[in-house]
Amino acid sequence: MKFKKKLSLIFAVMLTVFFTLPFAASAVTFTPTNGKDENNNLVPIYFYSTSIYMMNLDNGEPLVDINSEEKLSPGYLTQLMTCALILDKFDGNEKKLKETYVSAGSDAYDELYDTGAPTADIRPGESVSYYDILVSMILCSSCEAANITALNMAETLYDFTVLMNKKAEELGMENTHFACSHGFYITQNYSTAKDMSKLCRYLVKKYPIFKKITSMENCQLEATDIHSEGTNLYNDNMMVSSYSPYYYSKADGIKSSVQSGSGRCLASFAGYDGYNYLVVSLNAPMEKTPSDVNKGQQNPDSIYGDDYVSYSCLDHTALYEWAFNSLVMTDFINPNSEITDAKVEFGAEADYVNLKPSSGCSMLWPVDISKDVVSKSVSVYDNVVAPIEKGDVLGKMEIEYNGELLASIDLIATSTVTRSQSAARLKIASSFYRSTEFRWALFIIIMMFTTYSIGYFIYLQLKYLKIDNKK
């Protein structure tokens, strides 16, 4: 008996956990568009980058996914992980970052000599603060700054990559492997746009000092024995440089990368009118496309007339403009609306109860896609038995778009239904005679009676035969 009680308790707890799970949503992604063609069809925006991932920065929900899980070299965006390990070490404390100095010998430079790797001109043995190390990596992809960090936080450059990959695993970067602290070398150094967005969101949401540095147009490093006036660094991310033709006033930072082996890579975030988005793009072309060469020849004063075109900046600007102009918070479910009702057995006051959503459902939605294309399906649990309490989960509502689940919402009772004991007893009594157990019991009784009757009959026949024989 005690075992049965424990089993019933465990089962009840499992049901409670299952049926009280919160509103679950499976985010859908969209194809950014730019107007309509002559046939009134939406025209998709052309993007240059091989891989793009755009998310709502506030809640992490994806909005645009273009080959976001393709493994590619992130180039100097690799240094964002090096930045993360520094910020974790000091918990983002700006004062401590500025008061803690580090340096390194030739072992931080040997692999970088005569390679053309980006530099902030930090010399061997030169003592610089971790704050200036961060600035050097974020603004100008300083490879020596990354290696100085590695050798001060680990025994060897390789040991530091172990720390990088451990952090990547903690952040759920499932398709990432770092092989160096700086990203100059691309062999076995890969990630995805989706994974890098996880790292970027972590940094932006957790460390205000990171946001501050990534938004700088330029920064003067602290003076040292070697650089008596400090070093003035300019941000390579042209989206935050007001002097650049790619300047985008709504952009707030993060980091760019230009490298022959990985193309043009960019991570950025932008905000406007209460909406905040983050974009990571990988492997945009280094050289101008033939069509853009022609544009440059026709209009030498345009961005296409320059020696190069920052395609990653064009991609990000197009995405942000689409999002700010097209995405609006849209209500799909009113939490106070009655959706359906559920039949209730043994109810004293009523034999049904109304159901409503446990929560509303709102999400960012393109203005050029009608809400009517979203389908809603409702399912009510079978065998709902009184008593029912207000708020009990008795069903589900699922919202889908193009075969993708947008949301799954519990349907809950809007009122209480008490149990009618007389109705329950009558139902139980009548159901017993229709049960399989009763039928088996009746069958066994009949078989036993039949067997007994046959046996008794045979007994009497044998008894009479003996009497006749004696006569």
Our count of domains for the chain comes to 3
Instruction: Choose one of 293, 327, 361: the last residue of a domain.
Output: 327
Tokens encoding 178: 């770092």
Instruction: Choose one of 272, 299, 327: the last residue of a domain.
Output: 327
Q: Is 32 domain-assigned?
A: no
The DSSP-derived string for 306-352 is SS---HHHHHHHHHHHHHHHHEEEEEEE-TTS--EEEE-BTBSS-SE
User: Same domain, yes or no, for 409 and 462?
Assistant: no
- Identify any residues that bridge with 404 across adjacent strands, giving them in sequence order: 401
Residue numbers of the domain that contains 144: 44-327
Pairing of strands 327-333, 361-366: antiparallel
Is the sign of the CA dihedral 191, 196, 198, 202 positive or negative? Answer: positive
User: Same domain, yes or no, for 115 and 170?
Assistant: yes
Give the distance from CA 118 to its chain's centroid.
32
User: Same domain, yes or no, for 319 and 420?
Assistant: no
- Identify any residues that bridge with 379 across adjacent strands, giving them in sequence order: 396
Cα–Cα distances in angstroms (integers) from residue 416 to residues 49, 378, 386, 435, in the given order: 57, 21, 9, 30
pLDDT at 461: 74
Pairing of strands 340-343, 393-401: unpaired
CATH number of domain containing 353: 2.60.410.10
User: Same domain, yes or no, for 250 and 368?
Assistant: no
Q: Is 14 domain-assigned?
A: no
Task: List helix spans (H) across 154-249.
Answer: 157-170, 193-206, 208-214
User: Same domain, yes or no, for 65 and 172?
Assistant: yes
User: Same domain, yes or no, for 417 and 453?
Assistant: no
- Identify any residues that bridge with 234 across adjacent strands, giving them in sequence order: 218
Going residue by residue through the chain, which has 471 residues, state the pLDDT in tens, using 9 for 90 and above: 444 444 344 333 333 333 333 445 556 899 999 988 888 888 999 999 999 999 999 999 999 999 999 999 999 999 999 999 999 999 999 999 999 999 999 999 999 999 999 999 999 999 999 999 999 999 999 999 999 999 999 999 999 999 999 999 999 999 999 999 999 988 899 999 999 999 999 999 999 999 999 999 999 999 999 999 999 999 999 999 999 999 999 999 999 999 999 999 999 999 999 999 999 999 999 999 999 999 999 999 999 999 999 999 999 999 999 999 999 999 999 999 999 999 998 888 888 999 999 999 999 999 999 888 999 999 999 988 889 999 999 999 999 998 889 899 999 999 999 987 765 555 555 565 666 776 787 788 888 888 888 887 787 777 777 666 665
User: Same domain, yes or no, for 308 and 342?
Assistant: no
0.75 exceeded by pTM: yes
User: Same domain, yes or no, for 268 and 376?
Assistant: no
Is residue 199 helix, strand or coil? helix
User: Same domain, yes or no, for 305 and 401?
Assistant: no
User: Same domain, yes or no, for 64 and 152?
Assistant: yes
Contacts of residue 266, Cβ cutoff 8 Å, sequence gap at least 6: 237, 239, 255, 256, 257, 279, 280, 281, 284, 312, 313, 315, 316
CATH number of domain containing 308: 3.40.710.10
